[in-house]
Amino acid sequence: MVERPVQHPFRPDVPAHPLNPEGPSLAARDEARLGLYVHVPFCAVRCTYCHFSTAAFSSAAVERWFAGIEREVALRAPLAGGREFTSLFFGGGTPSALSARHFRRLWDILRANFTLASDAEVTLEANPESVKPTLLDAWREAGVNRLSLGAQSFDRAELRTLGRIHDDARPGEALALARAHGFERLSLDLMFGYPGHTSATFARTLDRLVELAPEHVSGYCFIAEGGTALGDLALAPGGPAVPDDAQAGLYAQMTERFAAAGLAPYETSNFCRPGAEARHNLTYWLRRDYMAVGPSAHGCWNGERWGNRYATADWAAALERGELPEAERERSSAVAVEEEIVMLGLRFASGLLARDYPSGVWERVEARFGGSFAAAAAAGRLERVEGGWRIPPAHRFLADDTIAWVAARSRG
């Protein structure tokens, strides 16, 4: 593969890091073929910004969830028809809230019903507080080869604002423990732009994170979700919401710090060292098939999308009645597929590339969006790359605006 020279995202006068070409690489794109997602909803406490499907942990709740997983797997696995999954992702909630015994039981259910590629990426989301040797051993023995740790911040006061149960030292301790247990692919989650967040505290957080040298980072901008403690606070009249331009400044600060440390942006919110892209997420962004089980889990399979019931009790009750636990399902129209390809692919740093889509599909994308792409390029919102289009680095924080602009133009 021929690497294109890459400019520094915000400083065209600074040469690109030679080991830091923008991704995702062509190899990473090709390895992300078929994903399997398992939602483990349990959390010790609810973080103040969280709108995910979570449930209180108890023995009875875990047993009911296991019964639901067994039922849903039995309903969905025959559809997989023995196809090989190239990635498996345990998300939540807090998958690390399961004991080693429970995790092995879950693993056995999945392995008995689905086929994993021998080199599959197997990721588990973990709360730093719950990472301990017995769990790390169980995960490694089973085949987990990538951990995603929710750090969010390295500032004690900010962690309290966010409702996190760990202190600022714990993510580093958990990461070191994971490395000592043989994990080589570690990712940290960060959040920025929440009420009270400042550039000065973010600089210290970014320095602490870079010192830990994770292979991958997801850096998400705070979104005020109604019904969450911090979201309601930010949305209240006169509340402490962080203005868009301040959030954009924090994003630029993060991107610049990471670029200097060899963590390249390969998707709007995701950064990695060469070869450390999150394969499972690439499956979503490339709009390839993925199967999903568990409350609130979403799947995309054979031209249809579905979403499971959000609340764990509703999801479990549907399965206990012998029904699929879905709240929604629809066959994707050709127009929807083309719009999703553009919406997701333009978030890649290296762009939306024709090579990633089946024969005929890209031609339809170009027929529908070609005029909008050209108009966006004339307006400086897009640029041509070999075999596709990308959003210029300086506009990446506002990728969603550009994507909406392109979509609106294509509809005339």
Specify the amino acid at residue 381.
R
Specify the amino acid at residue 331.
R
Residue of 36, 38, 40, 43 interacting with ligand SF4 (CB under 6 A)? 43
Give the integer Cα–Cα distance in Å for 156 and 107.
35
DSSP state of 7: B
Residue of 52, 220, 284, 310 interacting with ligand SF4 (CB under 6 A)? 52
For residue 261, state whether it binds ligand SF4 (rule: CB under 6 A): no
Tell which positions 135-154 bind ligand SF4, by CB under 6 A: 150
For residue 96, state whether it binds ligand SF4 (rule: CB under 6 A): no
* Interface segment toward ligand SF4; rule CB under 6 A; list 89-97, 212-220, 285-293, 302-310: 89-97
For residue 231, state whether it binds ligand SF4 (rule: CB under 6 A): no
Q: Which residues contact 382 (CB under 8 A, 6 or more apart)?
A: 346, 373, 376, 389, 390, 391, 392, 402, 406
Q: What is the number of helices (H) and of strands (E) in the chain?
A: 14, 17
CA distances from 125 to 45, 151, 152, 187 (A): 16, 11, 13, 9
CB of 56 to ligand SF4, least distance (A): 11
For residue 54, state whether it binds ligand SF4 (rule: CB under 6 A): yes
Pairing of strands 383-385, 388-390: antiparallel
* Maximal C-alpha separation, the chain: 63
The enclosing H or E element of 148 equals strand 146-152
Q: Angle 116-119-124 (CA atoms, 0-180°, nearest 5)?
A: 70
- For residues 222 and 261, the answer to whether their CB atoms sit within 8 Å is no
For residue 92, state whether it binds ligand SF4 (rule: CB under 6 A): yes
* Interface segment toward ligand SF4; rule CB under 6 A; list 14-22, 90-98, 231-239, 367-375: 90-98
CB of 52 to ligand SF4, least distance (A): 4
CB of 280 to ligand SF4, least distance (A): 17
For residue 9, state whether it binds ligand SF4 (rule: CB under 6 A): no
CB of 88 to ligand SF4, least distance (A): 19
Q: Closer to ligand SF4 at the Cβ: 10 or 52?
A: 52
For residue 6, state whether it binds ligand SF4 (rule: CB under 6 A): no
CB of 210 to ligand SF4, least distance (A): 23
E runs forming strands in 296-401: 298-301, 304-308, 326-331, 352-353, 383-385, 388-390
* Interface segment toward ligand SF4; rule CB under 6 A; list 91-99, 103-111, 178-186, 381-389: 91-99
Tell which positions 101-130 bind ligand SF4, by CB under 6 A: 127
Give the integer Cα–Cα distance in Å for 205 and 209.
6
CB of 110 to ligand SF4, least distance (A): 21
Helix (H, G, I), strand (E, B) or coil at 394: helix
For residue 94, state whether it binds ligand SF4 (rule: CB under 6 A): yes
Q: Closer to ligand SF4 at the Cβ: 116 or 209?
A: 209
The enclosing H or E element of 111 equals helix 100-113
For residue 405, state whether it binds ligand SF4 (rule: CB under 6 A): no
Helices (H), 169-237: 170-180, 199-212, 229-235
For residue 50, state whether it binds ligand SF4 (rule: CB under 6 A): yes
CB of 121 to ligand SF4, least distance (A): 21
Token pair recorded at residue 306: 């579905």
The enclosing H or E element of 292 equals strand 290-293
* Interface segment toward ligand SF4; rule CB under 6 A; list 86-94, 173-181, 192-200, 240-248: 86-94
For residue 93, state whether it binds ligand SF4 (rule: CB under 6 A): yes
Specify the amino acid at residue 44.
A
CB of 43 to ligand SF4, least distance (A): 3
CB of 46 to ligand SF4, least distance (A): 5
Closest CA to 325 of 342, 337, 307: 307
Tell which positions 323-382 bind ligand SF4, by CB under 6 A: none
- # residues near ligand SF4 by CB under 6 A: 11
Site for ligand SF4, rule CB under 6 A: 43, 46-47, 50, 52, 54, 92-94, 127, 150
